[in-house]
């Protein structure tokens, strides 16, 4: 990285920066624990004559060591084959009409607010606004070490119960939206995709405006005919780059398809996967008549629903990963 011309190849430099970030995410916690243990040893030496003088500092150091070890143990749970990779999230409303469209957009906001807490970068790949409110669907890329390892806990149907802001009689409404999470594979990861199985459509990008938007057909939509999987990207100005991004998403979804087959969960995610509606949810968010967010898989729950919607997802992700880790033992 210190060599002249390192940034001449911006794409290659960015990949190397991501590799470095992944390595430091493993090394730095170990270095911090080592330093804390050394500090504890110094405190013990200083307190040989008067232990009470260093008791408080020793307890504080011990607590810091325990916190670092807990964090490292959590990282060990992110040991799946592709956990280290970036994540691609696709959100789609289900049963619930306009409320479901709005709910899907609320979930999108939740993940956008969660990402910075882990120094992850969010990039919008595709966004289709609904007519009245919310979204028809949206796809985002979450970039950072172990983004997929964490966010795979979010895959499934999410249920919202609230007083509908779109109902003139202020009735309680139940809405559903699905969250699909796949890893973003590097180009060197080989997943067989035949050209003759692909239907490629181009269309004009839609967005907030600007000179480029809606003037060229740079957006790409790819349909994988054998599975019916559809991916789209309109984030880049270049049709070529949008195609590359869409193909990465497709590779991830095909991988998820095979993984689901192996886990006998194909019906939940693709093909005859059931409706995005009652009985299929992984988590419920209740705003009325009481406040409760509960994960049906782990029984993890909290009354701070607004906090969860503001991105405080880690307790649910931690509980899911611990459960999966214990199931493998």
CA atoms within 13 A on the CB side of 37: 9
Instruction: For residue 196, give Cα distances in angstroms to 188, 199, 243, 313.
Output: 21, 8, 16, 41
pLDDT attached to residue 39? 92
Distance, CA of 279 to CA of 259 (rounded, Å): 22
Could you please report the per-residue DSSP string of 61-78?
Answer: HHHHHHHHHHHHHHHHT-
pLDDT attached to residue 125? 87
CA atoms within 13 A on the CB side of 249: 30
Instruction: For residue 69, give Cα distances in angstroms to 30, 59, 122, 308.
Output: 9, 15, 29, 25
User: In which residue ranges of the chain is pLDDT below 50?
Assistant: 208-215, 265-274
In the chain, what are the domain boundaries?
A: 21-76, 87-328
Chain segment 142-164, per-residue pLDDT in tens: 998 889 999 999 999 999 999 99
Rg (CA), the chain: 23
- Going by C-alpha positions, the residue among 45, 76, 67, 11 that lies closest to residue 238 is 11
For 87-328, give the CATH class.
alpha beta
Instruction: Tokens for 109, please give them.
Output: 């906001």
Q: How many percent of the chain have pLDDT more than 70?
A: 87
**Is 144 in a helix, a strand, or coil?**
coil
Chain segment 262-307, per-residue pLDDT in tens: 555 444 444 444 455 555 789 999 998 899 999 999 999 999 999 9
pTM above 0.75, yes or no: no
């Amino acid at each position: 990285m210190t060599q002249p011309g390192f940034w001449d190849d911006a794409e290659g430099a960015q990949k190397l920066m991501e590799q470095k970030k992944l390595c430091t995410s493993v090394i730095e916690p170990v270095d911090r624990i080592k330093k804390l243990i050394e500090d504890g040893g110094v405190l013990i030496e200083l307190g040989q004559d008067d232990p009470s003088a260093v008791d408080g500092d020793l307890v504080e150091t011990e607590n810091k060591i325990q916190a670092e070890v807990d964090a490292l143990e959590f990282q060990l749970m992110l040991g799946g084959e592709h956990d280290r990779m970036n994540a691609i999230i696709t959100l789609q409303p289900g049963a619930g009409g306009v409320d479901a469209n709005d709910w899907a957009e609320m979930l999108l906001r939740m993940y956008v607010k969660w990402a910075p807490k882990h120094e992850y970068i969010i990039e919008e790949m595709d966004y289709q606004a609904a007519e009245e409110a919310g979204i028809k669907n949206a796809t985002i890329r979450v970039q950072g070490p172990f983004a997929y390892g964490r966010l795979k806990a979010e895959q499934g149907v999410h249920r919202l119960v609230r007083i509908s802001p779109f109902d003139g009689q202020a009735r309680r409404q139940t809405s559903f939206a699905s969250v699909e999470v796949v890893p973003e594979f590097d180009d060197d990861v080989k997943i067989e995709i035949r050209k003759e199985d692909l239907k490629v459509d181009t269309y004009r990008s839609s967005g907030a405006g600007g000179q480029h938007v809606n003037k060229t057909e740079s957006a790409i939509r790819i349909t994988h005919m054998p599975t019916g999987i559809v991916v789209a990207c309109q984030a880049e100005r270049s049709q070529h780059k949008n195609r590359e991004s869409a193909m990465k998403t497709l590779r991830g979804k095909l991988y998820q398809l095979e993984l689901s087959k192996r886990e006998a969960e194909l019906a939940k995610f693709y093909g005859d996967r059931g409706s995005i509606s009652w009985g299929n949810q992984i988590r419920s968010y209740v705003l009325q008549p009481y406040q409760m967010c509960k994960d049906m898989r782990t029984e993890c729950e909290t009354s701070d629903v607004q906090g969860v919607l503001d991105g405080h997802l880690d307790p649910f992700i931690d509980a899911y990963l611990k459960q999966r880790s214990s199931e493998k033992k």
